[in-house]
Structure 1
Amino acid sequence: MLHELTISDLGVIESARLEFGPGLTCVTGETGAGKTMVLTGLGLILGAKTVPATVRTGADAAVAEAIIDVPAAGPLAERLADAGVAVEEDGSAVVARTVGATTRSRAVMGGRTVPQTLLGEVAAELVTVHGQSDQVRLRSPARQRDTLDAYGGAETADARRDYAAAWDEWLTAAERLRRMQEGADAERAEVARLRDDLAAIDAVAPEAGEDAALVAEAGVLENAEAVRTGAAAAYEAIAGDEAITVVATLEAARRALADAARHDSALAALEERLADYSYGATDVGAELASYLDRLDADPGRLDEINQRRSDLATLTRRIGVPDVDGVLAYAERARPRVEEDDAWDETLVARREDEARCRAALEAAATTLHDARAAVGERLARAVRDELALLAMPDADIAIAVERTEPTAHGADVVTMTLASHPGAPHRPVADAASGGELSRIMLAIEVSLAGADHESDDTARTFIFDEVDAGVGGKAAVAVGNRLAQLARTHQVIVVTHLAQVAAFADTHVVVAKSTDGAVTRAQVGAVTGEDRVQEIARLLSGQEDSTTARAHALELLEGSAVAR
């Protein structure tokens, strides 16, 4: 509930403080007196966008401050706690919104600076604001659908959630199938090229680093005579047939040290080192001998190497890579795509089956949602018809048609509200069949029905703010509107901006916005009226002359009648 609203330097309002109790509060005043600024102030503390132009001329900033009740438990309570909002012991919190004329605006709730969106979340759960522009709800099929779903509560919410999940799953399956089908020719042509490349690679069967090894071996063979001469000379010097070789010399030195070491053990370590040198030289000699044998064993090896290098070069040019390692990396990437293509037909069948399964699930979810909406539509139509009977439209027949259509993100239904304004009249879309005053009353009937559904579901009182919901209404219908707003105010807090005395007469709290000017500055005074002051305001609403005897008598009659009705 909204307990209090304080406004300063907002439009023509220099300073105002309004107290809102439970029940029905009506705000009246002459056109241009500043009623809009009261609504603007309410909008600010409910998260509306700030407009610097609304700051009073000459002021640095406008301020709107309110005391509101907040929920003690639930997601919103957790959200407020996470934001550090301090809640009073009585469950209320102070909300302040500053609108700078040239500086940044800010929002404070419970002593903490909070984002504008948090105020919007509070408003969405606790407050319903309805103005004349909201009659677009009766003109837009999407808004009519959302209204129907809101009335259905958990029944339609569960069905919508299941449908949304089925919709997302079907979209994914359909997109996977579409990509596979639309790209089939190009994809399969690409895979055919990869398949040919892999066949060429497998035919050559390159090994990692093979090209570099062949280059090195070819360099040796191309200089075979110089290599043979050098290797042979080294062999002869180390372990050849000559009397003096490295091996023979090392062995002679080792034996001499061995004889000496029998007399001096200090030489034993040196003898061991010479033995190691001798063994090493012997090994080198054996390896050189084997190397020389290989050079002589395969005189055609150079031709083989050159042919292999040519095959590898052809392969790297085909693949478009610089070396054999690039060819192997290409093959590693290409094989999974070729293997996947091997199962192309099976994959395509599987994706078609998956899309069909998801589509069937979507159709089933759409049917469930349609059935829920159709049942809820009948209940909402009955509720609105009952409300219209109380709003001086007893012969009006409201119907809500829920027709199947192709699935969309919000279901497979088109929701249409139709009106037959009197017996025998054909049903037509509400926006076409109703006058301005009838649209106002139908919108009020829908809001009251939605409020009733909310009250039954969670027993949570909301705050309803109506901006001239009675536009285009007069006479008996105006009395009916006031009476119905008063009935709504028995379970919810209702704040109404009105020009109708018949509506204002039902108020529990009557707030008047009056304008005054000294020729240079215009100011608005805002305050509650009671007693004789209220009689005068009702009389002014009736005739434009608060001192008219006839209007005053009529005002008293209205106030007495509304008291009886309540």
Structure 2
Amino acid sequence: MLSALSIRDVVLIEALDLDFGPGLGALTGETGAGKSILLDALGLALGARADSGLVRNGAQQAVVTASFDLPDDHEAAELLVENGLEAEPGEPLVIRRIVKADGGSRATVNGQPASAALLKELAPHLVEIHGQHDDRGLLNPRGHRALLDAFGRIDTQTAANAHRAWRAAEERLAGAVADLENAARDREWLEHAVAELNALAAEAGEEEALSTARADMQKGARLAEDLEAVTGHLDGSEGGAAQLRQAARRLDRIAGEHPLLAEALEALDRAVIEAGEAEDRLTAAKEALAFDPDRLEEAETRLFELRAMARKHRVEPDALPALAAELSERLGRIEAGGEGIARLEAEAAAARAAYLDAATALTEARGTAAARLDAAVAAELPPLKLDAARFRTAVEPLAEAQWGPAGRDRVEFEISTNPGAPFAPLVKIASGGELSRFILALKVALAEEGAARTMIFDEIDRGVGGAVASAIGERLTRLAARAQLLVVTHSPQVAARANAHWLIAKSHDGTVTRTGVTALDATGRREEIARMLSGAAVTDEARAQAARLLEAA
């Protein structure tokens, strides 16, 4: 609800502070008094273009501050949080807009800097302004589907969930197809690589073992002569080992003759044993370092193949077995990919069918709600002097490319103003007065579904009077039971029904013209309504008629 509006130096308004309450509020005054300035000022706070022409002559800047009392869970609070601004629970939402005479402007929301774009985004959640040339709100077809859904209390979540599931299934399918296409382009390479790796049949640790064996054989070739010479010194009847054993046998026969001979025999026995161990190790070394040209060539060839394959695939030789397994798995996925695609296609088809079922149910529900809304609006038209007009809610199918979470329907409110005339959008064929009355009829029929908590009607009663004006007043009163309404009016029948009444008037001090707004008490209201009835000269009869209107309201 709009709770307060403060205006400084806007056109003819020097300083103005207004407090608003719930219900229906009327703003009246003579033509040209400046009622539009109030709406321009409020529009500035709601993100309208910052025109330096709004700054009062002689002032450096114009300032408008609008305060709104909103529930803690209001969507405006969520919007502020999304934009990084703080919204204090229980505190009013305060929008301040400053326009400088040189054309610059700035805005704050709850004292925090904000952009004009954010103000525009907040505006439809705070105030609806319906005027002669308004192209927003009920006149904007983009909002008609949501209004119809709210009117019919239609479940749209089922279709939204089904659409989300369908889109997700389609994305999975598209991703799998793309992966398969990319992999298929590599299939020939993969087949060749897997065949090469499988033919090579590399084993983990094989490169190190081959490298060690090759090095040993190369050492054996270099040490062969020395090894043969050492073996010659030890082997044979004349070799060192045989001589040691013969010496030990002869010493054994005489060792008992003297302790030193026994000790010498012990040492010689140890030498025989060590010589035997040396012979064993020498034999083992000769076997390990045995030089076989064929074996060396085989080892070097295998080692070259392993290292060449590793360089080709940019891995270490020990990683070749794992690489072979990985590429084989990729190749296997390609060969089995058709089965996976078929499964994902089936899932996407099932999800699409589920969405179509939900969207069809949504279309049927909208058709039923549209018939109810058409009947409700039709009942409101005759009292508003729109007897010849017809209203319909067009529910038409969208192209598949436009299907979405809200279903596959386009919804638009249309009218035909004369018998036999074709239906067309409201804004295209209704005159100013008719348009305002159509909006009022729609608002009453929709029972404020989807509306902001504050609605402003600008001269909705233009060009009508008598019973029609009374019908407009009665419907505004009904709407005001659900929301805050402010109406700029020239109709005494409408003004008489207001819960609060403000008079807008110009004043002159000889050099400066100012627009002021006065909150009227009971006596002031009767006098203003009498003026609206009789014109410039207020008669006693007009005062009596004004009193009757106020009593009837």
Shorter-chain TM-score category?
Answer: 0.7 to 0.9
Report the Cα offset of residue 174 of structure 1.
2.3
Distance in 1 (alpha carbons) for counterparts of 2:23 and 2:113: 30
Distance change in 2, residues 1:435/1:547 (3 Å): closer
For residues 426 and 232 of structure 2, what CA distance do their matches in structure 1 show?
115
Matches within 5 A, 1:344-359: 344-359=337-352
Using a 3 Å threshold, how does the CA distance of structure 1 residues 294 and 170 change in structure 2: closer, same or farther?
A: same
Q: Which residue of 1 aligns with 2:107?
A: 105
Distance 1:535 1:205, change over 3 A: same
CA-atom RMSD in angstroms = 4.6
**Deviation, structure 1 residue 370:** 1.0
**Residues 282 and 356 of structure 1, relative CA distance in 2, 3 Å threshold:** farther
State how far apart, in whole Å, the 1-side matches of 2:393 and 2:105 are: 49
2:530–2:546 contact (8 Å) kept in structure 1:
no
**Contact 2:216–2:289 under 8 Å retained in 1:** no
In structure 2, what is the Cα distance between the partners aligned to 1:299 and 1:123? 93
Deviations 1:10-63 (A, max 9, x none): 454332122323332122346665544533554577x64784845656356725
Correspondent of 2:289 among 279, 288, 295: 295
- Return the letter of the residue paired with 2:332: E
The equivalent of 1:366 in structure 2 is 359
What are the Cα deviations for residues 353-406 of structure 1, in whole angstroms up to 9, with x where unaligned?
111101110111101211221121122212222222332223433222323344
Matched residue type, 1:85 = E
User: One-letter code of the match for 1:373?
Assistant: R
Separation of aligned partners in 2, 1:282 and 1:562: 138
**Distance (whole Å) between structure 1 residues aligned to residue 398 and residue 442 of structure 2:** 25
Larger deviation, residues 354-363 vs 504-513: 504-513
Q: Is the 8 A contact 1:390 1:484 kept in 2?
A: no
Residues 1:412 and 1:511: Cα distance change in structure 2 (over 3 Å):
same
1:559 has 2:553 as partner = no
C-alpha distance in 1 between matches for 2:14 and 2:283: 112
Alpha-carbon distance in structure 1 between the residues aligned to 2:203 and 2:533:
102
Q: Tell me the residue number matched to 2:458.
A: 468
Query: Could you list the runs of 5+ residues in structure 2 that have no partner in the other structure?
Result: 243-258, 260-269
CA distance in 2, matches of 1:453, 1:103: 35
Q: Which amino acid aligns with 1:506?
A: R
Count of aligned positions: 509
CA apart distance, 1:448: 2.3
Q: Distance in 2 between matches of 1:281 and 1:385?
A: 125
- Note if contact 1:27-1:513 (Cα within 8 Å) is conserved in structure 2: yes
CA distance in 2, matches of 1:60, 1:307: 91
Aligned to 2:485: 494
2:475 maps to a residue whose letter is: R
Partner of 1:64: 65
Query: 2:221 matched to which residue of 1?
Result: 225
Written as runs of structure 1 = structure 2, the 5 A alignment for 1:242-261 is 242=240
Query: Which of 437, 441, 446 in structure 2 is aligned with 1:450?
Result: 446
Q: Secondary structure at the match of 2:536?
A: coil
Given that 1:321 and 1:327 are in contact with CA atoms closer than 8 Å, whether structure 2 keeps it comes out as no
TM-aligned CA deviation for residue 293 of structure 1: 0.5
Secondary structure of the corresponding residue to residue 171 of structure 1: helix
CA-to-partner distance for each residue in 1:508-547, whole Å, 9 max, x for gaps?
322233344668765432222346755665577679xx53
Whole-angstrom CA distance in 2 between matches of 1:462 and 1:299: 96
Residue 105 of structure 1 aligns to a residue whose secondary structure is strand
Residues 448-507 of structure 1: CA deviation (Å, up to 9, x unaligned): 2333558xxxxxx97432241517543354443233213322443211234555543433
SS of the residue corresponding to residue 203 of structure 2 reads coil
Further displaced range: 203-212 or 321-330: 321-330
Q: Give the direction of change, closer, same or farther, for the CA distance of 1:416–1:200 in structure 2 (3 Å limit).
A: same
Distance across 2 between alignment mates of 1:129 and 1:239: 119
Read off the aligned partner of 1:296 and give its amino acid letter: A
TM-score w.r.t. the length of structure 2 is 0.74
Alpha carbons 1:99, 1:105 under 8 Å: kept: yes
For 2:234 and 2:211, the matched residues in 1 are separated by: 29
5+ long unaligned stretches in structure 1? 88-92, 245-258, 260-274, 455-460
CA contact (8 A) 2:198 2:324 kept: no
**Whole-angstrom distance in 1 between the partners of 2:328 and 2:348:** 28
Structure 1 residues 501-510 or 53-62, which shifts more? 53-62
The amino acid that maps onto 1:99 is R
Counterpart Cα distance in 2 of 1:517 and 1:215: 109
How much has 1:316 moved relative to structure 2?
4.1
Q: Which amino acid aligns with 1:315?
A: M
Question: Structure 2 CA distance, aligned partners of 1:230 and 1:105?
Answer: 99
**1 CA distance for matches of 2:49 and 2:235?**
101
Is structure 2 residue 415 aligned with structure 1 residue 419? yes
SS in 2 for 1:300: helix
Indicate how the Cα distance of structure 1 residues 350 and 26 shifts in structure 2: closer, same or farther if over 3 A, else same: same
Deviations 1:300-345 (A, max 9, x none): 122112321343355346x442643564564454344223223222
**Cα 1:301–1:437 shift into 2, 3 Å:** same
Which of the two has higher C-alpha Rg? 2
Following TM superposition, by how much is the alpha carbon of 1:425 offset from its aligned partner in structure 2, in angstroms? 4.7
Distance in 2 separating the partners of 1:357 and 1:204: 47
Tell me what 2:519 maps to. Answer: 528
Q: Distance in 2 between matches of 1:383 and 1:499?
A: 27
Q: 1:243 to 1:314 in 2, by over 3 A?
A: closer
* 1:547 paired residue number: 536
**Post-superposition CA distance 1:51-102 (Å, at most 9, x none):** 4845656356725153x54437788899999957263xxxxx4443333446
Contact 1:399 1:419 in 2 (8 A): yes
Aligned partner letter, 1:145: R
CA distance in structure 2 between the partners assigned to 1:233 and 1:542 by the alignment: 141
Letter in 1 for 2:289: L
2:303 aligns with 309
User: Does the Cα contact within 8 Å between 1:391 and 1:484 map onto a contact in 2?
Assistant: no
CA distance in 1, matches of 2:330, 2:490: 74
Give the superposition deviation at 1:195.
Answer: 2.9
SS in 1 for 2:361: helix
Assess, with a 3 A threshold, how the Cα gap between structure 1 residues 307 and 434 changes in structure 2: closer, same or farther: same
